[in-house]
Amino acid sequence: MNSLLHSSSSPLLPLLFLFILLTLSHPTTLSSSSLPDHFINAVPSPFRHDFYTEYFEIAPPLPTQSLIPSHTLPLLKYDFKNTTGFPVTVPYWPPIECLSPWLSVVLQFRGAVKGVQDDRIVGIWLEGVELLRTSTAQPTETGVYWKVEKDVTKYNSLLTRSNLTLTVMLENTVNQFFTGFIHVEVSMLFYGLWSSTNPAQGATGGDSKFNRKLMNFVDEDVKLELVKGEDKGVVSDGVEKEKKKPEEFLSKQRNGKLESGSKLEIFYDRPADLIIPISDDGGMGCWFKIVNESNVHSKEIQVPQNTYKAVIEIYVSAHGDDEFWYSNPPTSYFELNNLTSKRGNGAFRQVFVTIDDLFVGSAHPFPVIYSGGINPLLWEPIVGIGAFDLPTYDLELTPFLGFLLDGSTHFIRLGVTDANSYWLVNANLHLWLDPFLPTVTAGSIRYRAPDLRVKREAEFKLLDGKCEVEAERKTQFSGWVSYSAGNYTTQVEYEFEFENSIEFRNQGQNTEVEQNIKTRTEVQTEDRNKHHSRTTSRIKTRYPLRIRISTTPGLAFQTFLSITNVSNGIESRSSVSQPHKRMSSTLSNSQVSGGWIVSRDHIVLSGTGNTHQNLRYRDENRCYSQIVVGDTGLILENVVIPFCATNSY
């Protein structure tokens, strides 16, 4: 187990035990200081390793990892110094050296910083559509660097457009204390249709199933044509063929309609035809800043009348008094003890979405811990899960096309239940358009959205006690759409269970948080005339979290010694089944971390931190596992197994 007693920094253990012995005889009421908190890493050089360090997040590798991109497009190189309230913008044009269609496009973000600096949240938008939400690493005196790569192929309809604005928001401060300016480079990596099969286009071998992975639901004859390169107008038998778009292969047009043999999944597996940003105007970044539950933000939109599928993608991050929302006791706890903290409202949070004030879904965020959270020494060089690539959340809106396609404008609103200040939220509305009809017809069948069931219990005796929150909801929506491919019914079922327990002991000096979030999403689409033609997508997720913190007065004046243990993880299982086809994937990603810090005014003066992470991923084409152990800036173990060792993986 990664705990204080198993830390490899043994020379510091006697000092720690001395702290404990000295503080046992000086019990002090610490109010809410034993809650998870945010710190600045300022550990002096005698406690640090004297070299430039790479920080990284453990995640399944992208399918393109072993390939050389057909083209790299540099977009931004900038030093963020005093940039509070000032987003940086640059123009975007797709590369003429590597024209669409692409097999894959990857957004690459590189960062470097040295000195003393807080972690900062970063947003990257293209014409208001968010492509990446990330955070920076906290540096050492000698400096750190890191790289984030995210597959952004699903934004293809936007990436092919010219003369767009790329916006990067990174609010940084440089002064006598915060000495680190953050150097950032942003690029796009384009992988052409031939990059996995033609060495001349930059292939390095890589995954032989790369094409199949990216086009897994395309008809075999279509795959063959794409591999031949006919979509790019290459010369065959001395005759140059007309350049064709992927849609021309994938639609098989016949008299303005699809052939009866064409498959629903061809339409449903490709990127959206249009993406509408549900975001701010970009003056202070394109995200909405939510400061309480009633602070709901909206965007007026008009959906094209030939839309046959709609999905809203939510970006969200928690900050300020809600950065550690999962540890917030009820407001009554602070009132009972005459504390001034604003970290109340309990521990339940959800992002909710409405259209014209009609509830259409909610997302329950994964508890991301930034590199300054709880104990900064836990997150070097292995950062917390999701810290470099914050997860997004998709809600299927196809059942609501019945009133969205009326030709009128509608208001999409975003809010956070029980929010404190503050949350940064925005969304992208992905729309799939019928290429043959100017309008399609749609209607609603079922709307079932019962009230959110929340059960709260709390019992406190001054600073000690326990509070629990349980919440659950099950929604069901269905609707039909009639378009070129036929008349299809989409049924969406979403269910979640939320459990949270916070316990304070020893006059509030010891805090234990346990939380578990379970979600289940099922989207079923069926041809109303052919009941055997059905596509079913299922996703199950679980977010287990446990935090233990013991805080006592330190040896020096106004210092505190905190012993911290964190267990965080994500487990997911997804599948897509269609007639004669089924795909599935599983992910298990867990971190167990432990250490101690001595701090003054939220500045870490000394300490240790170690993290043990275990990642396992599997789908039809890949098996991947990785075990990494880090200790206060050093990697002690890093084992990667890029294949399945057994069938019982």
Which residue in 634, 605, 607 sits closest to 55, CA to CA?
Answer: 634
Which residue stretches of 134-242 are H helix? 156-159, 210-214, 220-228
Domain 64-204 in this protein, CATH class: mainly beta
Reduced DSSP (H G I as helix, E B as strand, rest coil) percent helix, strand, coil of the chain, to 5: 15, 50, 40
What local confidence, expressed as pLDDT, does residue 34 receive? 87
Give the model's pLDDT for residue 531: 67
What are the C-alpha distances in Å from 388 to residues 120, 123, 154, 383? 11, 11, 19, 8
Q: How far apart are CA 312 and CA 400, in angstroms?
A: 12
Distances (CA, A) of 445 to 300, 476, 482, 490: 25, 10, 13, 9
d(CA 392, CA 544): 18
Contacts of residue 645, defined as CB under 8 A and 6 or more positions apart, other chains included, come to none
Instruction: Supply the pLDDT for residue 244.
Output: 35
Dihedral sign (CA 450, 426, 378, 602): negative
Map residue 261 onto helix, strand or coil: coil
Q: Is 195 in contact with 203 (CB distance < 8 Å)?
A: yes
Helix (H) or strand (E) holding 403: helix 401-404
| Residues composing the chain | 649
The vertex-294 CA angle with 289 and 300, nearest 5°, equals 65
Q: Do residues 292 and 420 lie in contact, with contact meaning Cβ atoms separated by under 8 Å?
A: yes
> Tokens 């009809």 appear where?
437
Q: Running along the chain, 649 residues long, what does each successive block of 10 average in pLDDT?
A: 36 42 40 83 77 93 93 98 96 93 96 97 98 97 96 97 97 97 98 53 35 30 30 31 34 35 49 97 91 97 98 98 98 95 97 98 98 97 98 98 97 98 98 97 97 97 97 98 95 98 96 98 90 87 98 94 98 92 95 97 96 96 94 95 62
For 151-182, the pLDDT digits (tens) are 999 999 999 999 999 999 999 999 999 999 99
**13-to-6, 107, 549, 634 alpha-carbon distances in Å:** 10, 43, 18, 18
pLDDT for res 520: 98
What are the two backbone dihedrals, phi and then psi, of residue 419, each rounded to the nearest 5 degrees?
Answer: -65, 140
**pLDDT number for residue 222:** 28
What local confidence, expressed as pLDDT, does residue 621 receive? 85
616 CB contacts (<8 Å, ≥6 apart)?
586, 587, 588, 589, 624, 625, 649
Q: Where are the domains of the chain?
A: 64-204
DSSP string across 92-105: E---TTSPSPEEEE
Per residue in 492-526, pLDDT (tens digit) is: 999 999 999 999 999 999 999 999 999 999 999 99
DSSP code at position 529 = S
Question: Which residues on neighbouring strands pair with residue 512, listed in sequence order?
Answer: 503, 548
Coil, helix or strand for 123? strand
> Considering Cα of 166, then 172, then 175, then 180, what sign does the dihedral take?
negative
Which residues touch 184 (CB under 8 Å, ≥6 apart)? 76, 77, 78, 79, 80, 109, 110, 111, 122, 168, 170
DSSP class of 399: G
Q: Tally Cβ neighbours within 10 Å of residue 208.
A: 10
Half-sphere exposure of residue 159: CA atoms within 13 angstroms, side-chain side: 28
CA distances from 438 to 184, 245, 306 (A): 44, 20, 5
Contact in structure between 150 and 46 (CB atoms under 8 Å): no
* φ/ψ (deg, to 5) at 11: -60, -25
Residues 6+ apart with CB under 8 A from 593: 2, 375, 378, 564, 565, 566, 567, 568, 609, 610, 611, 612
Coil, helix or strand at residue 11: helix
